[in-house]
Amino acid sequence: MRMTVWAVAIAMLSVAMPARAQDKKVDFNIGGGYSAVTGDAREHTGDAGVFEAGVTLNVTPTFGIKTNYNYTGLGKEKTVVLNVSPSPVGGVFSPQEFSADTHMHDVTFDVVLKGKPGPKVSPYAIVGPGVYHRTVNVTTPAVGYTTVCDPFWYVCYPAAVSVDRILGTRSSTDFGMNFGGGFAFKIGETASMYFDIRYIYIWGPTFDVPAIGAEPAKSVHANGQAVPFVVGFRF
């Protein structure tokens, strides 16, 4: 799939109509990279690869409006150990591994602020809101009963339930913001290669976590934070 994506990008670059980059009203971009999860979510989900594609309307040479689609997935599974018993009322507990893998689709609507372009390098900054759809899939080979309350897995069962009720796929669609910047390196009359880094913050759902041992009851927000690094082509 990766070879196909880059083949499409190169083909689109080769047929771009000749014009001076600063006179272009519309830019297209396609790229990929790595997204590092930060904040509280890092203890519950793993890092992942990221793919993006978008279009920018250049209102002026230094100001643009960009719509971007991003897919983040195929990341590292996060594994935790839960005590599982053969009965909901107790018995001999055995530690069992539960794994969660995640992916996310999102669309952002950004303002692009471009610095003074040089002969080869042009800096830019981006900021804007977005809609983020996060999905978590929980798996385990265990059979029995357990308790778990993990807002970042979108599941909370303070009383013992069958493992089957914990397994499966859950998702949440939430509002978020992203901001960052990067540099574009000219590689042709209408094409450039870009490198950028962004910070993403997502306001997720709230879960009421009951008291556990000495830990008091509390409300936990399953907010998401990530820092994607992206390399791509703009044409």
d(CA 127, CA 102) in angstroms, rounded, equals 25
> Cα(222)–Cα(96) distance, rounded to whole angstroms?
24
Q: What is the pLDDT of residue 20?
A: 44
Q: What average pLDDT does the segment 77-92 reach?
A: 88
**pTM of the model as a whole:** 0.85
Instruction: Specify the DSSP element, H or E, that contains 184.
Output: strand 168-186
pLDDT at 57 over 80: yes
**pLDDT tens digit sequence for 110-159:** 999 999 878 899 999 999 999 999 999 999 999 999 999 999 999 999 88
Beta pairing class for 145-150 and 155-162: antiparallel
pLDDT of residue 74: 62
Q: What angle do CA 231, 41, 207 make, to 5 degrees?
A: 140
The pLDDT of residue 217: 87
